[in-house]
Chain A
Amino acid sequence: MKYDIRCQVFPGQFSSEYSVEGQQSSGDLFSLFAPVGLVEVDGVPTRDHPVEGWLKVQIWDLAGSKAVVQLPRESFESGRFVTVGLNQFKTPPQTVELAEK
Chain B
Amino acid sequence: MILSNVEMQRAMEEGRLVISPTPEPLRPMEGRKCPYDTHSVNLMLGDEISIPEPGPYIFDLLETGSLSMFLSRNSRKLTIPPEGFALKPSQFVLGLTLETISLPVNHAWNKENNTCLAARVEGRSSVARCGILVHFTAPTIHPGFEGTITLEIINLGPAKFMLRRGMPIAQLIVEEVKGIPFERSDRTFVGQTAPEGRTGG
Contacts and interface: CB of A to CB of B under 8 A. Distances in A.
Q: Do A and B come from one complex?
A: yes
B96 interface: yes
B137 interface: no
Given A77-B64, A77-B67, A96-B190, A14 B201 contact: no
Contacts of A77: 64-65, 67
B23 to A, nearest CB: 20
Interface in A81-101: 91, 93-94, 96-101
A31 B192 contact: no
Interface residues of B, number: 32
A13 B77 CA distance: 6
Interface of A is mostly: strand
Contacts of A93: 189-192
B148 interface: yes
B67 A59 contact: no
Given A12-B72, A20-B68, A70-B184, 14 more contacts: A3-B192, A13-B71, A14-B48, A15-B48, A16-B96, A19-B71, A19-B72, A29-B65, A58-B185, A76-B61, A76-B68, A96-B190, A98-B192, A100-B187
Interface of A: 2-3, 10-16, 19-21, 28-33, 35, 47, 50, 58-62, 70, 76-77, 91, 93-94, 96-101
Interface of B: 48, 50, 61, 64-69, 71-73, 75, 77, 94, 96, 147-148, 184-194, 199-201
